[in-house]
Amino acid sequence: MKDFNTWLKGFDAEGSAGRAAHGLGDLALARGVDDPNFVHIVFEVTDKTKAKVRLANPALKKIMMEAGVEGVPTITFYTDSPK
């Protein structure tokens, strides 16, 4: 992304409650050590169907582009694994 602080304003504008309504619970937000504009987000997916619909929504893409996201985010769904 172009600028972390600009992106964060957009992310915060939606808020945890907004993401939770779409099946995405906030778990972690990390920045790259070498590139602080690289962001890694981990969500707890409480409703995979709602989450997939939200992540595919063109309105979200527009919000992300306005917040300075460059390129296409990598989205991966996974489950916890016992140690």
**pLDDT (0 to 100) of residue 83:** 78
Tell me how crowded residue 23 is: count the other CB atoms within 10 A of its CB: 19
What is the average per-residue pLDDT within 70-76?
89
Annotated domain spans of the chain: 4-66
pTM above 0.75, yes or no: yes
What contacts 30, CB < 8 A, 6 or more positions away? 39, 40, 41
pLDDT band at 40 (very low <50, low <70, confident <90, very high): very high
